Chain A
Amino acid sequence: MNNYLLILKKELIDIFRDKRSFITLFIPVLLFPLMYFFMGTQLSGGNLTENIPCIVECETDSDRQLYEAIFNRTSLIEETAVSEDKYTDLKKGSVYGIVEISNGKITLVCNQNSAKTISSMNLINLHLAAFSQQIFNESLQQQGVDMSQLKALDYSGAMTDLSELIPDAGNSMMASIAPMMLVMVIMSGGVSVAVDLFAGEKEKGTFESLLTTQVSRMALLMAKFTAILVISLLSMVLSIAAYVISFKLNPGALGLYTGNPNADLSDIRIISVSQVLCVVAVCFTLSLFAVSVMTLLGINAKTVKEAQSQMSLITIIPTLLSGLTMFMDSASISDGAMLIPVFNTIASIKMIFLGTVQPIHIILSSVSCAVYSVIIWFICVKMLNSEKLLRG
C-alpha cells in the first residue's frame, strides 16, 4: 500500500510538471470557447432575416409590378446588381439567391451548398407562400365565399414538444450533446499519460530499474492505472466546464446541436439527481474500461510511437459510435446491445436524458464495462509478469 501511494504520488507530480499534460488538460478550457465562438458566429451571423441580398430578374413590366406588390411592403429583400454573372455571384456568396419572375411565374434559385443562405431563402419562400394564400383568400372573400366553410382541418402545422407538456419527458438537447461529448473526452483524456507511463518508461529504461526494487509489479500496475484514471476523470470534468463556459459565452453555438440558433443555456435542463447519478455511474465504469484498455496497450507497446499509433484507435472508435447513435432511436435499442462497450455508455446517456432509460440498461452498461475492465486487468497482470515485457 505504501509503495502504491508512493508511486501514485510520484506519477502525479511527474504528470503535472509535464507541459504536455498541462496542455492536454487545459487546452479544452481555452480552445472550446474560441471554437464555439467561431462556429456560433458562422451559424447565427450568416442567417439574415431582412435585407437579404438577392438578384431580381423580371421579364416584363407586369412581372416587376408583381415583385413590388409582393416585396415592397417588407424589407425582406435587398435587390442587388449583378457584378459578374448571376450564377457566379450566387456561387461566390455575394448574393443569397436569385428571384426570377417570367410572365407571372416566380422561381427562386438558391445555393444548397451554402448553409448560411438556406434559412434566409426559406424565409423568402415562406413569405411567398403566405402572400399567395392571402391573395387566394381575398379573391374568395370578394366572391362572397365563407372562408370558415373552406377549412378542411383545424391544424396550424406547429408541433408541441412533449417536454413542454410533462416535466420528465426528457431533454433532447442534452441527449444529442452529452453522450458524444462525455464519451469522447473519457476515451481520449488519459491517452498521453498512458503512453508515457508504460511505453515511455520502457523506452527510457526506467521500467527495468523499477523491477529491480522491492516494489511488487501489482503495486506498480495499480498506481499507474490510478494515475491515468485521475487524469482521465479530471480531463472529463475540465472539458464539461469548458463546454458550459463556451455555451454561456456564446449561446448561439447551441444551435449547432439543436438547429435552433436562438437556443440558450436555459434549454438545457438536468431533470433530477437520479439522472445525474446514473450518468456518473455509466461514465465512471466507462472510464475504468477506457483506462484498462489504455493500460493494456501501454504495457504491450515497446515504444512510445507504437503506443501512440495503437491508442489513436480508442479515440477514433468512440467518435464513430457517437455519430452512429445520433441517428438511432434510443427506445429501440435491445438489452443485448447494452453489452457492447462504449456503445452502451453512449446509448445509456442518451436514454437518461430522453427519460427512456430502464434500470436494466444502466445495470447492463455499468456491470459489463466493469467486467470487461476486470478481464483486461487480468491480461495486464499476466503481461506484466511475462518475460516478453522487457525482451524488446
Chain B
Amino acid sequence: MITVSNVSKSFGKAQIIKDISFVAQPGQITGFIGANGSGKTTTMRLISTILKPDCGSIEVDGADVVASPEEARKNLGVLFGGDVSLYNRLTAWENIMYFAKLQGMTDDEAEQRIRILSNLLDMDKFLFKRVAGFSRGMRQKVSFAKSIVHNPSVILLDEPSTGLDIYSIRDVQDFILTCKEQGKTVLVSTHNMHEIERLCDNLVIIADGRIIRNGTKDEILRNEGTDDVMEMFFRIAEGASR
C-alpha cells in the first residue's frame, strides 16, 4: 500500500507539489493522471525515495520513505517515464541480474525469478542477447523485469506503454493485470486513456501540483456524468482551471 499524506515539495521558490494526499491499495491498480508538468513525475520520485518531501509523509507498505528509505525501496519496484534505458553492452539477462543483485537477491533467487519473468513477459528468445539491437518493445520488457525482479509488493509505473507497438502494449498491460492479481499495489502514471479504461480501478487526478479528484474510476465517471475517460478528464481539468 502507498499512503501519501499532506505532502508538499518545492524546488527553490517554485512549489511543485501542494499538500497532496492519497492512498493506493494493494490488489488494485491506481491511475495517476495529469497534464505534463502537473507534478506526476515529482510525486513518483518522492514515493521512490529519490526526492524527499518538504513536509508531510509517504509510506510504502508501512515504511516511511524519509525515516527508512532502504526498507521502503525493498518493497518498491519503479519504472520511470518511458524507461527503456538499459546497459546496451550487457545482455538482457545480465541487465536484470545486475539489478537483482543490487536489490540483495542471491544468484539462485535471481535466476529463478528471471526465468519466471522471462516466461511472463515472453523474453526467452532474446534473454541472452545484448540489448544494443533491441526494439523499444523488447527493451521495455527488460526494463519491466529489472524493475520488479526482486518481487516488490508496490509497483510504480511512469508511462509504461509510451512508444510501444500494439503487441507490446498488450503484453505490458497483461503483465500489469497479472501483478494486480498477485495482490500487488500498482500506481500507474499515464496519458493513455485506453490504458486507464482497461487497467485502472482507482484514479488520482493531479493538476498544478494539487489533487483535484481521487476515488474509484466508476465513481468519478458517474459523478462527471460520462462513460468516456477522456471526456471525464477534460471536464475535471477544465473545472479545476476555472
**Which residues from chain A contact B136 at a C-beta distance below 8 Å?**
none
**Which residues from chain B contact A213 at a C-beta distance below 8 Å?**
73, 99, 102-103
Pairwise interchain contact A214-B85, C-beta atoms closer than 8 A? no
**Which residues from chain B contact A387 at a C-beta distance below 8 Å?**
11, 50-52
Chain B interfacial residues counted at CB < 8 A: 28
**Which residues from chain B contact A3 at a C-beta distance below 8 Å?**
101-102
Given contacts A209-B80, A390-B45, contact A14 B89 (CB under 8 A): yes
A304 CA to B41 CA, complexed, in Å: 23
Check B29 for interface membership: any CB of A closer than 8 A: no
**Which residues from chain A contact B101 at a C-beta distance below 8 Å?**
3, 6
**Which residues from chain A contact B59 at a C-beta distance below 8 Å?**
none
A212 CA to B147 CA, complexed, in Å: 9
Q: What are 23 A-B pairs with beta-carbon distances under 8 A?
A: A3-B101, A6-B102, A10-B94, A10-B98, A13-B89, A13-B90, A17-B90, A18-B89, A204-B86, A206-B85, A208-B80, A209-B78, A209-B85, A209-B147, A211-B50, A212-B49, A212-B76, A213-B73, A214-B102, A214-B103, A387-B11, A387-B51, A391-B11
Partner of B87, one of A6, A206, A212, A391: A206
Instruction: Kindly list 19 other residue pairs between chains A and B, CB separation below 8 angstroms, not including A205-B80, A215-B102.
Output: A6-B102, A10-B87, A10-B98, A13-B90, A14-B87, A17-B90, A205-B83, A208-B50, A209-B99, A211-B50, A212-B48, A213-B99, A213-B102, A214-B70, A214-B73, A387-B11, A387-B51, A390-B45, A391-B11
**Which residues from chain A contact B45 at a C-beta distance below 8 Å?**
390
Q: Which residue of B lies closest to A17 (CB)?
A: B89
A212 CA to B148 CA, complexed, in Å: 11
Q: Which residue of A lies closest to B105 (CB)?
A: A214
* Contacting residues of chain A (197-242) with chain B, CB-CB under 8 angstroms: 204-206, 208-215
**Which residues from chain A contact B146 at a C-beta distance below 8 Å?**
209
**Which residues from chain A contact B129 at a C-beta distance below 8 Å?**
none
**Which residues from chain A contact B147 at a C-beta distance below 8 Å?**
209
**Which residues from chain A contact B78 at a C-beta distance below 8 Å?**
209, 212
* Contacting residues of chain A (6-61) with chain B, CB-CB under 8 angstroms: 6-7, 10, 13-14, 17-18
CB B144 to nearest CB in A, in angstroms, measures 12
Q: Mark A353-392, 1 if CB is under 8 A from B, else 0.
A: 0000000000000000000000000000000000100110
Partner of A10, one of B73, B90, B103: B90
* Contacting residues of chain B (35-92) with chain A, CB-CB under 8 angstroms: 45, 48-52, 70, 73-74, 76, 78, 80, 83, 85-87, 89-90
**Which residues from chain B contact A204 at a C-beta distance below 8 Å?**
85-86
A390 CA to B81 CA, complexed, in Å: 13
A391 CA to B50 CA, complexed, in Å: 10
A6 CA to B99 CA, complexed, in Å: 10
Pairwise interchain contact A214-B89, C-beta atoms closer than 8 A? no
Q: Which residue of A lies closest to B147 (CB)?
A: A209
Given contacts A14-B90, A390-B50, contact A210 B102 (CB under 8 A): yes
Check B163 for interface membership: any CB of A closer than 8 A: no
A214 CA to B49 CA, complexed, in Å: 11
CB B211 to nearest CB in A, in angstroms, measures 22
Check B104 for interface membership: any CB of A closer than 8 A: yes
A391 CA to B9 CA, complexed, in Å: 13
CB B58 to nearest CB in A, in angstroms, measures 14
* Contacting residues of chain B (7-53) with chain A, CB-CB under 8 angstroms: 11, 45, 48-52
**Which residues from chain A contact B83 at a C-beta distance below 8 Å?**
205, 208-209
**Which residues from chain B contact A206 at a C-beta distance below 8 Å?**
85-87
Pairwise interchain contact A214-B51, C-beta atoms closer than 8 A? no
* Contacting residues of chain A (245-267) with chain B, CB-CB under 8 angstroms: none
Q: Which residue of B lies closest to A208 (CB)?
A: B80
Q: Mark A266-286, 1 if CB is under 8 A from B, else 0.
A: 000000000000000000000
* Contacting residues of chain A (296-332) with chain B, CB-CB under 8 angstroms: none
Q: Which residue of B lies closest to A211 (CB)?
A: B50
